[in-house]
Structure 1
């Protein structure tokens, strides 16, 4: 099989950098260009210094149509503008990592790229909208319940993300001195990922109308998402574990853990880990992912593998940090 010819737009940020780290070593990829408006003509390793010695690529000002796939790693609201200004050939597949096309109303020809929900649709897609990071973790925590129409009560979620979740652009709440030994809440009950979470749950559980209370938090660490959600169910813990295990048995990156999980188990991997606890009618579901990998660039490469008929795990068997 010939290598996939790939271009990246927006390669200088966090998600672009993670995508480069995966694709440079992917056995079936040839990187044709990495576009960046802010870093044009600079060596990629001058911006992503950890890649020094691994690539001689330079950021480009222009685009090439001699590609099979284009990754868009632009800010929210910028991908749609970019595609309107730069028509892409019909033969080129697109994976967009922004939120611009995740909702059906805004991306009718984009397939929502959560493999644990839409694997078959992804395999036949031309355009893919990569899910949000919080949305990925929360949906993976809830999908096995929705599949059996078992989400019958309000859902309460507290989830903490690392500083890289805010992107590379500087702000007062992303600087290290502010984040260190600190914790804060933002966008309580109105986070933008709620809409795509509700969209997916309604697609699986017809008529889903339960309230989702979502409290996002900024954590004192660089990467990762740790989700703790609570809802009520009459299902036994044994039955719940079976449902989760059955749902994810064919999905190589999502695993139900028999013991309590922690964030370092998933950082620097494309894995999602889930753990369940039941007390009376109260169910607690804990989920953890790396926001830059399973929550962004790793999942984008997983979608690429499915698009081009590769092993879903190709280039994504990554080692967790562990300590």
Structure 2
């Protein structure tokens, strides 16, 4: 296949990862990278790691979107939350006016909630395109056999790791207690715009919690988990900023309904993720370097004193964002789910 792909909001870290992945994708052809702030600039001038991949490829303003859509198009949005919904609505109008069939995967938070009120409660602002919410659904590919809607809102990076731990616990009825989770993310999780907490002298050799028990991904996880498992968890989440650039390590603990061995618990998780190409239930706690740079996630489970601890590692920019978005787009176009994503991470970084 030769399916045109367009990235909206194409200048951040997630967009850079999407461009890197699409450069090696056998079925998607990058047709346009939309960025008002970088319009006219060479893509490799913003993402030097892509030097030599597309020497003549330049960012486009939104006004030129219609020129690159083709008869059908895979549209990825990497715009910030609050901006993505309006941008997607405008892109859908351009496509409708030209009779172009598009599929959309949004990597922002704008289509992760089923209704506008839930979004506003979490983000403190009205939704940018509430009329489109019914056209989107949010879940990890591993938790739905097929897409529930034409377009997808991809879960957040922390949410991806938390959902991988929480959904099997809920589906198998293993716990009736709150889920207590702690997670550590790399500095790329804060985005490309420099912040005081991503300044190298502050972040290097340092670690600190932020927004404890108030992180925006917690209500997202509760809602998505209920949608795919039928049970709404009570999540108590404390995120941390870690002294590295990329990757997420989540530890989730809960009380068990009855005594289960670690082997029995691993069996429940293995049953949930049987046949999924990117999620692996392993022996012992996972290591972050084993997944960074790739679309794979590793899960470890242990039990003791009628409680369970689940460990999840993944790359926040790949499995937690760009890679997961491509995985969903592969599904939407009925391609091999692993297309463009089969490469392992480098491990020794």
Q: What TM-score do the two structures reach when normalised by structure 1?
A: 0.95
| Structure 1 residue 318, shift from structure 2 partner | 2.1
Contact persistence 1:228–1:287 (CA under 8 A): yes
Question: Are the aligned partners of 2:215 and 2:237 in contact in 1 as well (CA < 8 Å)?
Answer: yes
Correspondence for 1:202: 226
Q: Deviations over 1:188-221 (max 9, x none)?
A: 111111122101222244453x532100000000
Q: CA separation of 1:204/1:82 partners in 2, compared to 1, >3 Å: closer, same or farther?
A: closer
Corresponding residue for residue 281 of structure 1 = 306
**SS in structure 2 opposite 1:223?**
coil
2:336 aligns to what? 311
Counterpart in the other structure of 1:112: 138
Superposition deviation, residue 60 in structure 1 = 0.7
1:77 aligns with 2:100: no
Task: Check conservation: 1:112, 1:118, Cα contact below 8 A.
Answer: no
Asked if structure 2 preserves the Cα contact closer than 8 Å seen for 1:41 and 1:60, the reply is yes
Contact 2:139 2:154 in 1 (8 A): yes
Alignment of 1:218 onto 2:220: no
Are the counterparts in 2 of residues 158 and 216 from structure 1 also a CA contact under 8 Å? Answer: yes
Count residues in correspondence.
319
Give the alignment of 1:144-159 within 5 angstroms.
Answer: 144-159=168-183
Partner of 1:183: 207
Q: Rate the CA distance shift 1:63–1:267 in 2: closer, same or farther, 3 A.
A: same
**Structure 1: 5+ residue stretches without partners:** none
More helix by share: 2
Say if 2:171 and 2:231, in contact at 8 Å, map to a contact too: no
Q: Which residue in 1 is equivalent to 2:112?
A: 102
- Cα distance change of structure 1 residues 54 and 277 upon mapping to structure 2, 3 Å threshold: same
Are the equivalent residues in 1 in contact too, given 2:105–2:153 (CA < 8 A)? Answer: yes
Q: Aligned partners of 2:35, 2:238: CA distance in 1, in Å?
A: 34
- Inter-partner Cα distance in structure 2 for 1:112 and 1:80: 14
**Superposition RMSD on alpha carbons, in Å?**
1.5
User: Is 1:245 equivalent to 2:270 in the alignment?
Assistant: yes
1:197-254 CA-partner distances (Å, limit 9, x unpaired): 101222244453x532100000000000000111111233222111111111111100
Tell me whether 183-192 or 84-93 shows the greater mean CA deviation: 84-93
Tell me, yes or no, if the aligned pair for 2:147 and 2:332 is still in contact at 8 Å. Answer: no
The answer for the alignment partner of 2:128 in structure 1 is none
Higher mean alpha-carbon deviation, 147-156 vs 157-166, is at 147-156
Q: What is the match of residue 126 of structure 1?
A: 150
Superposed displacement of residue 76, structure 1:
1.0
* Partner SS, residue 145 of structure 2: helix
Range with greater deviation from structure 2 (304-313 or 144-153): 144-153
1:228 matched to 2:251: yes
TM-score by length of 2: 0.88
In the alignment, what sits opposite 1:263?
288
